[in-house]
């Protein structure tokens, strides 16, 4: 057992699996000073296997929970040549604040499906933010998600949403997907970044969906973004319905990025989804220009490569 209240634990395996069979605890604490009680925020735990899996056995406990007014902490797992296998207990809740954050960098997923992981994180109170990077294969978001910020990246595959991602809250949340291949928001899917009020900058939430993200200087020119009929993207701010908007107040933003076609058009399929209360919908085309042999100059030949 490692008990470091509000502290930081780093464990790394340079060769072979990293296996956790005990308790790693950096939870926040309550301390009383005379007649006043104060609460420390929880700390951070970093687990890394350089060449294999990170394994949390059934008797393991990872605790980054907050106490009363204290903030929950962060669990970060890196298995760039393997994956995360979790059968243990995760504790990430907070009583009077958002829960913990979770970061994953994995070589692959079991069947390419985030469902089991997202269900575990939901049940364990990890609802502040999730940053999930999968280096190989397609990624499917198959289970409902509750997290104020949700980022999923597929380095060499597609990202498909087939469930509700709820990033709503007092202010709007953030949902982001980056894929080297396609990004698909399937029928029946709901991406919700709605807020009760505007944030301090006068903004609502934000959804960013990027297909054909560059990998090692190359782009999949056939990658596209598809928002299917029957899907919903909620960018609303409840306060906007109850009061006149100031010039510096905006509801949410939807950004769609995809490679351009030969005529310079972004590869975004006709939008079938219901987009609710967007202040702005941005469609961006991108491509990589070949400037080899030009000493970095934008020569006429480079400019003819459908400069966007």
> What ranges do the domains of the chain cover?
1-136, 139-308
pLDDT attached to residue 305: 61
Average pLDDT for residues 8-21, to the nearest whole number? 96
At residue 75, does pLDDT exceed 80?
yes
Q: Band of the pLDDT at 301, cuts 50, 70, 90? A: low
Higher-scoring residue by pLDDT: 58, 215 = 58
At residue 198, does pLDDT exceed 80?
yes
Parallel/antiparallel/unpaired status of strands 30-33 and 36-39: antiparallel
Separation between Cα atoms, residue 228 and residue 188, nearest integer Å:
9
pLDDT attached to residue 308: 47
pLDDT attached to residue 303: 62
Higher-scoring residue by pLDDT: 69, 103 = 103
Q: Are the C-beta atoms of residues 211 and 179 closer than 8 Å to each other?
A: yes
Average pLDDT for residues 15-22, to the nearest whole number? 96
CB atoms within 10 A of CB 145: 24
Residue linked to tokens 């029928």: 187
Q: Band of the pLDDT at 242, cuts 50, 70, 90? A: confident
Residue linked to tokens 């939807």: 254
pLDDT attached to residue 97: 82
Separation between Cα atoms, residue 84 and residue 293, nearest integer Å:
44
Q: In this predicted model, what pLDDT tens digit does every residue of 124-142 receive, in sequence order?
A: 999 999 999 999 999 999 9
pLDDT attached to residue 96: 82
Higher-scoring residue by pLDDT: 275, 218 = 275
* 165 burial level (CB within 10 Å; 0-12, 13-18, 19+): buried
Average pLDDT for residues 188-211, to the nearest whole number? 97
């Amino acid at each position: 057992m490692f008990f470091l209240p509000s502290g930081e634990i780093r464990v790394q395996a340079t060769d072979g699996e990293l296996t956790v069979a005990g308790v790693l605890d950096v939870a926040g604490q309550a301390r009383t000073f005379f007649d006043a009680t104060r609460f420390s925020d929880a700390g951070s735990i970093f687990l890394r296997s350089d060449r294999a899996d990170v394994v949390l056995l059934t008797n393991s406990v990872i605790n980054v929970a907050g106490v009363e007014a204290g903030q929950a902490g962060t669990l970060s797992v890196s298995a760039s040549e393997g994956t995360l296998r979790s059968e243990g207990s995760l504790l990430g809740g907070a009583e009077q604040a958002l829960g913990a954050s979770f970061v994953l960098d994995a070589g692959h997923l079991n069947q390419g499906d985030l469902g089991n992981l997202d269900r575990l994180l939901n049940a364990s109170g990890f609802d502040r933010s999730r940053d999930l990077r999968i280096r190989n294969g397609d990624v499917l978001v198959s289970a409902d998600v509750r997290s104020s910020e949700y980022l999923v990246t597929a380095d060499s595959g597609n990202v498909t949403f087939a469930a509700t991602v709820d990033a709503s809250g007092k202010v709007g949340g953030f949902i982001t997907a980056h894929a080297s291949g396609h990004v698909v928001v399937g029928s029946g899917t709901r991406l919700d970044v709605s807020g009760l009020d505007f944030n301090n900058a006068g903004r609502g939430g934000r959804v960013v969906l990027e297909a054909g993200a560059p990998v090692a200087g190359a782009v999949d020119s056939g990658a596209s973004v598809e928002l299917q009929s029957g899907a919903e993207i909620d960018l609303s701010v409840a306060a906007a319905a109850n009061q006149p908007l100031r010039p510096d107040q905006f509801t949410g933003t939807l950004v769609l990025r995809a490679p351009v076609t030969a005529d310079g058009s972004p590869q975004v399929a006709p939008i079938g989804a219901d987009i609710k209360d967007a202040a702005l919908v941005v469609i961006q085309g991108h491509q990589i220009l070949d400037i080899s042999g030009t000493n970095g100059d934008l020569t006429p030949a480079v400019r003819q490569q459908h400069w966007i």
